[in-house]
């Protein structure tokens, strides 16, 4: 090949490269996948369970039980507006390991429901903190009416989500831009995963564990806790037509 011919070939290759298709914008699912890969590369994850006055105890301790039995480098911490004891809806106080101001980085974030939801949807400290933390979280989860808090913070806009059947309208009222799904045990929308009422949070948590750590790990934890895992997110035994 003579020098002129070689230069022509190089020029053609440069022109072709300049016409490559523009990069495709990441979908929410793509972003969730990128975050998952980043966390896996680190080798460990930290899940923060949010506490607030009048939270529902099983919304918290169901997920704590199953996530706490993951042995592949998952640390469970509790966080509230202020570190220290937080009174649940059922009465017992639970210690928050961290406050919003000193909470370490979180890979996973879970917001429970409870009667205190009605106060937290009006709490700027809670809403602002959730917005900030959700930007860097791999997955943001909620149990029961906790989805109303996420919705009020704008973290479910344009997403599919669910909530407690008995207080479903509360969630709807705080998330007019959310695609609410009433008949669902839980709803997985990439980096946003929401569950129905109370015990449904255990099913959701096992599903998230299966995604992050494998089905065998989730099966082992369900067996260890002697829990009959509802594996089908769309099979909602507590849905009642017309409610």
User: Catalytic residues, which ones?
Assistant: 144
| CA atoms lying within 13 Å on the CB side of residue 212 | 31
CA distance 24 to 203: 34
- Helices 200-213 & 215-224, crossing angle to 10 degrees? 140
Residues 6 or more apart in contact with residue 46 via CB below 8 angstroms: 74, 75, 76, 77, 104, 105, 106, 107, 108
């Amino acid at each position: 090949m003579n020098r002129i011919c070689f230069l022509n070939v190089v020029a053609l290759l440069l022109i072709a490269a300049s016409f490559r298709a523009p990069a495709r914008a990441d979908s929410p699912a793509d972003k969730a996948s990128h975050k998952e890969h980043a966390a896996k590369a680190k080798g460990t994850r930290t899940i923060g369970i949010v506490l607030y006055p009048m939270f529902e105890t099983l919304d918290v301790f169901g997920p704590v039980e199953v996530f706490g039995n993951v042995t592949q480098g998952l640390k469970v911490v509790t966080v509230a507006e202020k570190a220290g004891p937080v009174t649940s809806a059922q009465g017992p106080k639970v210690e928050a390991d961290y406050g919003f101001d000193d909470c370490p980085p979180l890979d996973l974030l879970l917001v429970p429901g409870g009667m205190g939801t009605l106060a937290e949807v009006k709490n700027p400290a809670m809403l602002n903190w959730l917005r900030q933390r959700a930007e860097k979280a791999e997955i943001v989860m909620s149990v029961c009416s906790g989805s109303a808090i996420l919705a009020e913070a704008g973290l479910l806009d344009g997403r599919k989500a669910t909530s407690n059947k008995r207080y479903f309208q509360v969630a709807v009222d705080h998330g007019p831009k959310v695609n609410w799904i009433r008949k669902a045990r839980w709803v997985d929308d990439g980096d946003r995963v929401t569950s129905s009422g109370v015990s449904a949070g255990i099913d959701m948590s096992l599903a998230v564990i299966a995604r992050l750590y494998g089905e065998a790990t989730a099966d082992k934890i369900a067996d260890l806790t002697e829990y009959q895992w509802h594996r089908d997110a769309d099979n909602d035994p507590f849905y009642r037509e017309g409610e």
